[in-house]
Structure 1
Amino acid sequence: MLASLVAKEKTLAVIGLGYVGLPVALEMAKHLKVIGFDVKENRIRQLQQGVDPSGEIDKSSFEGRNIVFTSSIEVLREAAFFIIAVPTPVDEHNVPDLTAIKAASATVGSVIKKGDYVVYESTVYPGCTEEDCLPVIEQVSGLTRNSDFKTGYSPERINPGDKVHTIASVIKVVAGGDAEALEQIAGVYELIVKAGVHKVSAIKVAEAAKVIENTQRDLNIALMNELSIIFDKMGISTFEVLEAAGTKWNFLKFYPGLVGGHCIGVDPYYLTYKAAELGYSSKVILAGRYINDGMGAYIAQKIVKHVLLHNGNVKEARVLILGATFKENVSDVRNSKVADVVRGLQSYYLQVEVADPNASSDELQHEYGFGLVEKPAGHYDAIIVAVAHDEYKAYDDAWFAAITKPHALIADVKGIYKNRIPSRMYWSL
């Protein structure tokens, strides 16, 4: 397979052209014939114009690539090596939602041929690829895995907004349904991953490795968030404590904050779901999720208490939230925990305005029921700096003072204004 792809006798297809699939497709298209497939017609039209809807990849990265963007099943039939990179979210009950990945599996099943390869990159629980996804391909195609077609799993490690840890510079974990598949799939990824690949013995191992990467981060951040709650009651600065503790060589540097997005705030639920299916009830992992999922409400309560103490009438109080995306310097608002802060404040009838230089007001309105203000217009009783966008780092004490009341609170979630706001009350996690 690898030799045929390199000789451009066969074509590679990437199904799902979001944060994960698009970088993979464009990198592969430096070396191979590639089909970029997505069911969203508007996304395909933008990509055909060299525009990344996510704003992560610039127009120059589309130039000189051997790639066709399409939503046509007929075009997809030309491929022989399929990479599936579609979203795997959780539903409103934090149960894994496999709708997209099963639909993508059915699509591949409708076009796959004997001798073809299919590799999954979407984050799932251990066992999902072999127990839930590949059976769909087999049912639709009438083919049998590992004999009629080869299988594999190579978890994505894309970090939105990160221009350093790119697909080429981060080691790629690779698993195959058998030894032949492992070698061929590893060879394909070695074309684009300069850091190299790490081969594992089974698809379940690769799935597990991916899901615990973000589970580990989630738990460490949960510890920091719980410490911030404790230290706030003690009247000491969490960031100062962490700075002091960080002088020890083996202290791990994590920080408190809102934990949203489509990775850290989601992946642990895939692991605990599978554990529960096997009869084990997670204790530590779900405890971390409980803490992190509650931080939006915690921040809202701090603001409400301040308003009650210094204003008295919450219905007249105005609060400005700076930042609505799930992390700094990205446009993605999926699973943004800023929405929890907004809902928490509105439940006490405060007037809430949200501003963000990167987010789409229409998308926020559709997802969460609130939009963005074009320009903050004071005077506010509190400002919450919820996301550490680069644009906010230049703001100073005078800027905050100009749009707030004298009794206002500046709630700096990420601590980017430490020791820089003397004229207003200041609080951070």
Structure 2
Amino acid sequence: MLLYEKLVNKEEKLSLVGLGYVGLPIAVAFAKQINVIGFDTNDKKIEIYKSGVDPTKEVGSEAIKNTTLEFTADETKLREAKFHIVAVPTPVNQDKTPNLDPVEGASHLIGRNLTKGSIVVYESTVYPGVTEEICIPILEKESGLKCGIDFRVGYSPERINPGDKIHRLETITKIVSGVDDESTMEIANVYNLIIKGGVHTVSSIKTAEAIKVVENSQRDINIAFMNELAMVFDRMGIDTNEVVEGMNTKWNALGFKPGLVGGHCIGVDPYYFLYEAERLGYHSQIIAAGRRINDGMGEFIADAIIKNLIQANKVVRRSKVVIFGITFKENCPDIRNSKVEDIIKTLKEYCIDPIIVDPWANQEDVWNEYKVELVDKDVINDADCIVLAVEHNEFKALTLDDFDKMFVKDQNDKKVLIDVKGILNKDEIQAKGYSYWRL
């Protein structure tokens, strides 16, 4: 009997290693069909899940309360499972090289608890070759088993878009590949239990790994192009948003907009591609240039804040600047690799210690990651400058009157409003006489 059939008959279990923004939705989805063990090394996170709370807001606390998923921080429980999915983060180091510590650590952990007949599938983003050249040898060494004989391995890149309520795990086509045709088909069958958008099999694990880094590199390059245009148009005195709106009236416009590019995918994955390409002797020009442009947007926006403060006759070092948003994207609590931090760092170089407001972010996480304290918007007053950095629905719902109450009591032309995402009505703001700038 195939492992797939044993899972469906609940004779075997599936384990999910890494219960973050990616792993949790996968584990909860599979738990509706088969027996699932959800493992994470973070004891505190496991206790939060056991209490019925979803801090990621990806599946919701109600789903956590009702799931049959078995949450655990005990790695020996993995010995009860035969199908393992690895969904741990793969960040970059300070020098922008891949940090494979999490995925290597997960491989050691699974290897120690691997049994014959098992399948291990990696979802973590890596450069082509990592699964076969780094992960499999670790699994073999730790388990004493042989890949292709005693156990099999596959790769299926995660494509979850945190905060997206339309493109969900179940509706996004799943890329799948295994060490051989048999494992590819078995892995595809298992994922078909939860993926309504269909499963797309590819010829090799390296191909599947490449698909993930390339699709995000493509987005990164397109956004970098828009960011470069925004910087040039700023010098030309042209409104980038108006240009984009006009361009998008053509049928083949791609719909990209300028902005901060952070998070765990678009702001990271291109560096994995660059690393492996350079290791093989090829020095990328387009992808590397895109990364440089996007990584510099925080500083560019901070400089725009300073210029507008000066133009409003403000004493820069005494100015009270309030930044709305610190998550890496809208309507999502994920603060990983948020480029709002770059704005904060640059402002501090001008002796400005900005106040941060974000109803989506967790206070403790923000402090641990960025040493920044969050405040409630209702206590904001006497602001010289308000920066709308993230397009949360709560911020989009605010009116100009709401903002006006937060500003220092002064002439409108001395109230600086920086609208990074262009979410406010430009005509209305200009009619009020505010000092207004948008990307």
The CA deviation string for residues 286-345 of structure 1, in whole angstroms up to 9 with x for no partner, is: 100100000000011111122223335222111110011100011111110001001111
Matched, 1:412 2:419: yes
Question: What aligned pairs does 1:383-402 form with structure 2 within 5 A after superposition?
Answer: 383-402=386-405
CA distance in 2, matches of 1:126, 1:185: 19
CA offsets 1:381-414 (integer angstroms, 9 cap, x no match): 2111000000011222222222224312211000
1:302 maps to amino acid:
A
Are 2:308 and 2:435, in contact at CA under 8 Å, matched by a contact in 1?
A: no
Bigger shift: residues 354-363 or 78-87: 354-363
Is residue 180 from structure 1 mapped to residue 182 from structure 2 by the alignment? yes
- Return the alpha-carbon distance in structure 2 between the equivalents of residues 295 and 249 of structure 1: 28
Instruction: Give the letter for the 1:418 counterpart.
Output: N
Q: Who is 1:278 aligned against?
A: 280
Q: Which amino acid aligns with 1:377?
A: I
- 1:160 and 1:402 map into 2 onto residues whose CA distance is 33
Instruction: Tell me how far apart the structure 1 counterparts of residues 173 and 370 of structure 2 sit (CA, whole Å).
Output: 36
Alignment match, 1:299: 301
* Alignment match, 2:348: 346
Contact 1:317 1:351 (8 Å CA) reproduced: no
The superposition leaves residues 107-137 of structure 1 with CA deviations (integer Å, 9 ceiling, x where unpaired) of: 1100111111000000111111111111111
Alpha-carbon distance in structure 2 between the residues aligned to 1:317 and 1:60: 44
**1:326 paired residue number:** 328
1:356-401: CA deviations, max 9, x gaps? 1111222222211221123342222211100000001122222222
For residues 155 and 61 of structure 1, the distance between their equivalents in structure 2, rounded to whole angstroms, comes to 24
Alignment of 1:4-19 (within 5 A): 4-19=6-21
Q: Which of 367, 380, 385 does residue 383 from structure 2 map onto?
A: 380
Quick check: 1:316–1:351 contact (8 Å CA) kept in 2? no
Q: TM-score w.r.t. structure 1 length?
A: 0.98
Partner of 2:312: 310
- 1:411 counterpart letter in structure 2: I
Q: Verify the 8 A CA contact 1:396 1:421 in the aligned structure 2.
A: no
Q: C-alpha distance in 2, partners of 1:62/1:193? A: 20
Structure 2 distance, partners of 1:190, 1:231, is 47
Deviation at 1:63, TM superposition (A): 5.2
Residue type of the alignment partner of 2:354: V
Counterpart for residue 37 of structure 1: 39
Partner of residue 80 from structure 2, selected from 70, 78, 81: 78
Q: In 1, distance between residues paired with 2:268 and 2:140?
A: 28
Inter-partner Cα distance in structure 2 for 1:356 and 1:255: 22
Of 97-106 and 52-61, the range deviating more from structure 2:
52-61
CA contact (8 A) 1:81 1:116 kept: yes
Give the letter for the 1:80 counterpart: K
The aligned residue for residue 428 of structure 1 is 438
SS at match of 1:156: coil
- Number of residue-to-residue matches in the alignment: 429
Report the Cα distance in structure 2 between the residues aligned to 1:369 and 1:80, rounded to whole angstroms. 41
Secondary structure of 2:169 counterpart: coil
Answer whether contact 2:176 2:188 (CA < 8 A) is retained. yes
Q: 2:256 aligns with which of 245, 249, 254?
A: 254
Task: Determine if contact 2:385/2:418 at 8 Å carries over to the other structure.
Answer: yes
Which sits farther off after the overlay, 181-190 or 91-100? 91-100
* Structure 1 letter corresponding to 2:84: F
Does the 8 Å CA contact 2:312/2:435 hold for their aligned counterparts?
Answer: no
Give the C-alpha shift of residue 143 in structure 1: 1.2
Residue 292 of structure 1 aligns to a residue in which SS?
A: helix
**1:53 aligned to which of 31, 55, 79:** 55
Aligned match of 1:240: 242
Give the match for residue 122 of structure 1.
Answer: 124
Equivalence map 1:168-247=2 (5 Å): 168-247=170-249
Question: Does structure 1 retain, via aligned residues, the 8 Å contact 2:25–2:58?
Answer: no
In structure 2, relative to structure 1, the CA distance for the partners of 1:52 and 1:63 (3 Å cut) is closer
**AA at the equivalent of 2:101:** T
The 5 A counterparts of 1:347-366 are: 347-366=349-368
CA distance in 1 between counterparts of 2:207 and 2:199 reads: 15
Cross-structure match for 2:150: 148
Structure 1 CA distance for aligned equivalents of residues 179 and 60 of structure 2: 36
Task: Look up the SS of the partner of 1:77 in the other structure.
Answer: helix
2:384 partner SS: strand
Query: Aligned-pair RMSD on alpha carbons?
Result: 1.2
Q: Distance in 2 between matches of 1:104 and 1:403?
A: 47
Bigger Cα displacement from structure 2, 148-157 vs 368-377: 368-377
Q: Which moved more, 1:357-366 or 1:38-47?
A: 357-366
Q: For residue 325 of structure 1, what is the amino acid of its counterpart? A: T
Amino acid at match of 1:382: C
1:213 shift after superposition = 1.1
Aligned residue runs from structure 1 range 101-140, under 5 A: 101-140=103-142
Q: Which amino acid in the other structure matches residue 102 of structure 1?
A: E
Higher fraction of helix:
2
Q: Which amino acid aligns with 2:145?
A: L
Unmatched runs of 5 consecutive residues or more in structure 1: none
Q: Name the counterpart of 1:69.
A: 71
Query: Which stretches in structure 2 are left out of the alignment for 5+ residues?
Result: none
Contact 2:320 2:384 in 1 (8 A): yes
Measured after TM superposition, the shift of residue 36 of structure 1 is 0.4
